[in-house]
């Protein structure tokens, strides 16, 4: 079910093979760093996916997404690997509230160059 939802959300046809979704995967950069628990995690050859269910409005989703993505990168990158081997991270928050109070059903964020809008 989660895999099919991922394809609908990211606009792909169901043709690539995903890893079996893992539930409640824990990640930390080091033993004394803040750890996270990913609700559902899976991947395909080009992407790492994390699906999170948010039941409370903590007003920190942008920073939380950034932190989750950084730990996903650390965990999936081997020592000596080239940066070009990093997969794209997709963090999906399913919220019971409107996190930005703008009445949109979906909010999509990407890193981009402010000067020319290129990702």
Give the pLDDT score at 23.
60
Pick from 35-44, 86-95, 107-116: least confident: 35-44
Query: Strands 88-95 and 47-54, how do they pair?
Result: parallel
45 contacts: CB under 8 Å, gap ≥ 6: 16
Burial of 71 (0-12, 13-18, 19+ CB in 10 A): buried
Distance, in Å, from the CA atom of 11 to the CA atom of 6, rounded to the nearest integer, reads 8
Average pLDDT, integer, range 39-61: 87
- The whole-model pTM stands at 0.75
Give the pLDDT score at 101.
92
Give the pLDDT score at 38.
82
Query: Strands 22-27 and 36-43, how do they pair?
Result: antiparallel
Q: Answer yes or no: is pLDDT of 13 > 80.
A: no
Identify which has the larger pLDDT, 102 or 17: 102
């Amino acid at each position: 079910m989660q895999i099919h939802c991922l394809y609908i959300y990211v606009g792909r046809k169901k043709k690539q093979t995903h890893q079996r979704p893992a539930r409640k995967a824990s990640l930390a950069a080091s033993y004394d760093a803040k750890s996270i628990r990913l609700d559902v995690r899976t991947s395909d050859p080009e992407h790492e996916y994390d699906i999170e269910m948010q039941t409370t409005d903590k007003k920190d989703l942008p920073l939380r997404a950034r932190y989750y993505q950084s730990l996903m990168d650390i965990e999936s990158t081997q020592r000596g690997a080239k940066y070009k081997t990093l997969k794209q991270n997709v963090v999906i928050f399913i919220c019971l509230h409107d996190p930005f109070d703008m009445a949109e059903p979906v909010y999509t964020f990407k890193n981009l160059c402010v000067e020319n809008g290129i990702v």
